[in-house]
Amino acid sequence: MTTRELTLALREDDAGSPRFTAALAGERGPGIVVIHEWWGLNDELRAQCARFAAEGFVALAPDLYDRPATTDPAEALARASALRTEDATERVARCVRELRGRGAPKVGVTGFCLGGAMAFAAAASVEGLSAAVPFYGNARADYMVAERMRCPIQAHFAEGDPFARAEPAVGLARDVRAAGGRMDLFFYEAKHAFMRESDPDAYHEPSATLAWERAIAFLHAELG
Amino acid sequence: MTRSASAVLAAALFACACEAGGDTDAAQPPQPERGPGGSDYVHGSATITRYGAPLGDAAAYWLIEPAEPTPAQAPVLVYMHGWSAFEPEDGYEAMLVHLARKGFVIVFPYQGGPLDRSRWEGSSRQAVQRALDELARGAHPRPDGHLAIAGHSVGAALALRMAAPGEPAIPTPELVVLHDAAGRRAFADLLSEGGALARVPPTVALLVMQAQTSGPGEANEPDSFSPEAWEGTAHLTRRNFLRSYGDRHGTPVLVSNHNGCRSGTSARPLDAHDHFACWRPTEGALREAQGAAFPGYSALCAGPGPECDPVRDHGVWGDGVPVRRLANAADLGL
């Protein structure tokens, strides 16, 4: 299964609205917004969209940078750190509306690294989300607040990951549960970016397989 | 994709003195017994307390305070961590506890997380404001009016920015210390934004400390902010540039790299580089900026003459061979 590119107006009712690109995979089913790593919208992320589509979801991945993906870590860091969370979640919200408009009965959000952070931020700020599955990322501090979370969360972290520290998510899960919400938290004996199949140094097949199975089961349970 | 972020950045963040064997078995010089960087502590311990919750409060901070005994007053040092760090335990605790046991109160702001860089300085300034309020009201040593700001990596660049007037306002520091300011490839305009360097008041003293290798990959001078920091602060009358070097004469070898001042972890144990190339110049400059310099030692000694030899000194290997000295501004032709 392949993806195809969409061009979306950020605000549907505004002819002068900025536009952005998103990769779409799947035709019918519950929706999932898939948010890229700090590299940008690359082939790895498109492949993840196709995998979600193969599981019965309609996957839509916004390009948060408006630029081709990079493979240079310094450039990726520059892009990721310059990105305003509010701008990213505005695009996620637009993708949620797009998926609902395409018939998705429910929509979830997932993401990896930077995308994991933005998945948390979306769970805290985007209307219409029914589930969030962040992978090894933490949103800005003011988003990682239990009272702001709008949907059940299943988060995945690598143990000892120096880039996506577990502490904020551990505290968030405690507070979400105390408030009666649901947040499942899983840890893996793997490195940061263990889901990145195209990167032999980071990819950890046993962890990636287990995390994927958990994520798909959770998303089917929450989104149908 | 051919490059791995985790591999590249892990190398940058946790580069260690992995090449243990040097040319001889000579031991590294021990920590000096007295003076800047020395073990002549005036406080038996230090307390580390977090204020605010980093997960829900971008302006959270830690206080590291001298104890046993607790002084009535103390100078304040704000320390800005590097990118992706989170808390003092991320390689800064040993140095900051050392300074606290020498009598300084350290404010360690949480910068708000590794994303949304436009908010880092504001979050940090807000955290410093809160910390100074807490120190003025709570059961702490009261600030004695002396304030310095130091930082590591991108935190060093932020430290220099915070010495310039900005919002929220914080007091002007007497001194800024840069521990291997780097991150230029990712944050090229961080120092130049808003003309920050030119706005640093001329009363501020500056100590730029640069490792032999600097930044991700450990070989890329272009990633260092140190030259830009130096060139942009020519209006400061009290400043020095110190460069440290590795030395393979003894065992374990001494490595001077981007995380040379970020030690005391399992990945990078403390060594003589910490004591002589990080703690000593930093502590010396702090005291000097307060008008209470250690006798015979000036971290801001930037000239070519022998009067600057104390700041160049890196101790002596166990067999009597001097460790490769630090270079000051004059040595570097600055």
Question: In this predicted model, what pLDDT tens digit does every residue of A156-211 receive, in sequence order?
Answer: 999 988 888 888 899 999 999 999 999 999 999 999 999 999 999 999 999 999 99
At B267 the pLDDT is 82
Residue contact B1–A199, C-beta within 8 A: yes
Beta-sheet strand order (sheet of B239-243):
B45-51, B61-67, B105-109, B73-80, B142-152, B175-179, B205-210, B239-243
CB contact residues (below 8 A), chain A span 26-45, against chain B: 38-39, 42, 44
**Count of domains for chain B:** 1
Pairwise CA distance, residues B93 & A125, whole Å: 35
Checking if the pLDDT of B4 tops 50, the result is no
The reply to whether B294 falls in a domain is yes
At B266 the pLDDT is 84
* Arithmetic mean of pLDDT, A89-115: 98
If one compares A15 and B165, the residue with the highest pLDDT of the two is: B165
**ipTM for this model:** 0.83
CB contact residues (below 8 A), chain B span 255-274, against chain A: none
The domains located in chain A, with CATH, are: 20-223 (3.40.50.1820)
Pairwise CA distance, residues B275 & A130, whole Å: 54
The pLDDT > 90 percentage for chain A reads: 89
Q: Compute the residue count for chain A.
A: 224
The beta strands (E) that lie in B215-257 are given as: 239-243
Residue contact A74–B1, C-beta within 8 A: no
Distance of CA A73 to the CA centre of its chain: 20
Pairwise CA distance, residues A11 & A98, whole Å: 11
Count interface pairs A-B at CB distance under 8 A.
Answer: 112
The reply to whether B330 falls in a domain is no
A15 contacts chain B (CB < 8 A): no
The reply to whether B15 falls in a domain is no
Residue contact A167–B58, C-beta within 8 A: no
Strand partners, A153: A132, A183
Nearest to A81 among B5, B55, B117 (CB): B117
Quote helix, strand, coil % in chain A, to nearest 5: 40, 20, 40
The reply to whether B333 falls in a domain is no
Q: B201 lies in which domain range?
A: 30-312
At B2 the pLDDT is 28
H/E segment holding residue A118: helix A114-125
At B70 the pLDDT is 97
Checking if the pLDDT of B216 tops 80, the result is no
Residue B61's CATH number: 3.40.50.1820
> Residue B203 has which token pair?
């009363």
The reply to whether B288 falls in a domain is yes
Contacts of B1 in chain A (CB under 8 A): 39, 42, 44, 71, 196, 198-199
CB of A208 within 8 A of CB of A197? yes
- Residue of B116, B187, B221, B224 to mutate when probing chain A, most A C-beta within 10 A: B116
